[in-house]
Amino acid sequence: MPKCKDWYKTQQGYVEYGAWGFDKLRLLSKIVPGPTEDSCTTWLGAESPTGALMGAYRGGVQQMTQARRLVWMMENKQDVSPYSVTMTCHNQMCCNPKHFKLKPTNRPNA
């Protein structure tokens, strides 16, 4: 039996912020907190040269994005699309929201 078009929206941990939607429970299962609140976290999921990667839905289309973008959206409950999320700790695999810094992006439809 084929899945309906928006079956992912019925998943227990699914959340949406603006055009983005993702499985919050899956995201959190791939992050191991550091020994203190201020230390870097450990990302256990997919990696690329630009950092930790996580599958998400943007406008209903599945795509990969940086996990830190999803963590920022989850923490702030809003879409981060007009910004680039960079790390003050310079650890591309870190997902600690205390280490995030937003920069405006020049990309259209970011």
Of the chain, the end-to-end C-alpha distance in Å amounts to: 35
How many other C-beta atoms can be found within 10 angstroms of the C-beta atom of residue 28? Answer: 12
Q: Rg of the chain over CA atoms, in angstroms? A: 14
What is the per-residue pLDDT for 109? 54
pLDDT band at 66; cut points 50, 70, 90: very high
For the entire predicted model, the pTM comes to: 0.84
